[in-house]
Amino acid sequence: MGENLPRVPGGARLHSDTLSRPVQTLRVKMVLLGSSGVGKSSLAQRFAKNEFRNTSPTVGCAYLTRLVHLTDVSLRFEIWDTAGQEKYHSVTPLYYRGAHAALLVYDISKMETFIRAQVWLKELEKYYIPGSTVVWLVGNKGDLALDRQVSVQEGQRLANEKGIFFTETSALSGDQVSNLLIDVAHRVYECVGTQQGGLSEWQETPLGDLHHRDTSSVFASCCRVGP
């Protein structure tokens, strides 16, 4: 028996890493950016495990994975959940350089996080090449609609002005989270995967190689590694 997986549009399926994969699996680096407390870690947990849990502020970054099966290819999302605290701001570019997808997350009940998301976007624009990174503005905590400070129209207007995509979600209820991941997958595959050298193929590391893995990466000392 398989796990109960959410139904999603477009013939795509969300799978855990333990399920069978199509012949080709491509790597997608996706980074979550935004202020502390907007729900980035909760969104990452929804993406990876379709569950909600209360989380502590991320230290440095956290790393999780999720497979998304499209019609003729599988995308292995490597999800980098970055810290939102100001003291980590200077190292955050280390995580989002080379990202194929970047999600700029804000809390719809806190206008200051929407303003801060625009600062993150300006920073991101210094490092990504249009067409090589799919950028998505995400208004999270849709379950707090009664306390809304940022309207849907404001979010959509900013996205239109910047030429990026926009979605509102609720990591707490799961509303629109699976659909968002599927939409990102389709956009990345269409916009980046078709480019020469756009997405590389993921190869599972043989167990024997784990003992020889290079741990000198800048990420090794500051990231929690998920499944």
Query: Of all helices (H) and strands (E), which one includes residue 166?
Result: strand 165-168
> Measured between alpha carbons, how far is residue 205 from residues 24, 62, 67, 208, 211 in Å?
15, 21, 16, 8, 11
pLDDT value for 216: 31
pLDDT digits (tens, 9 = 90+) for 127-140: 777 778 999 999 99
Q: Is the dihedral of CA 44, 48, 51, 53 positive or negative?
A: negative
> Measured between alpha carbons, how far is residue 60 from residues 83, 84, 86, 116, 134 in Å?
5, 9, 11, 18, 23
31 and 52 Cβ atoms separated by less than 8 Å: no
pLDDT value for 150: 98
| Mean pLDDT estimate for the chain | 78
Q: Which domains does the chain have, with CATH numbers?
A: 13-203 (3.40.50.300)
**Is residue 89 very low, low, confident or very high in pLDDT (cuts 50, 70, 90)?**
low
pLDDT value for 142: 97
62 and 44 Cβ atoms separated by less than 8 Å: yes
Proportion of the chain above pLDDT 90, given as a percent: 48
180 and 46 Cβ atoms separated by less than 8 Å: no
Proportion of the chain above pLDDT 70, given as a percent: 69
pLDDT value for 191: 87
Residue whose token pair is 């012949």 = 23
Asked whether the predicted pLDDT for residue 222 surpasses 50, the reply is no
pLDDT digits (tens, 9 = 90+) for 161-220: 999 999 999 999 999 999 999 999 999 999 887 665 678 888 776 544 434 433 333 222
pLDDT value for 126: 80
pLDDT value for 97: 79
**What count of other Cβ atoms lies within 10 Å of the Cβ of residue 162?**
16
Q: Report the length, in residues, of the chain.
A: 227
pLDDT value for 62: 74
Q: Is the dihedral of CA 141, 147, 153, 157 positive or negative?
A: negative
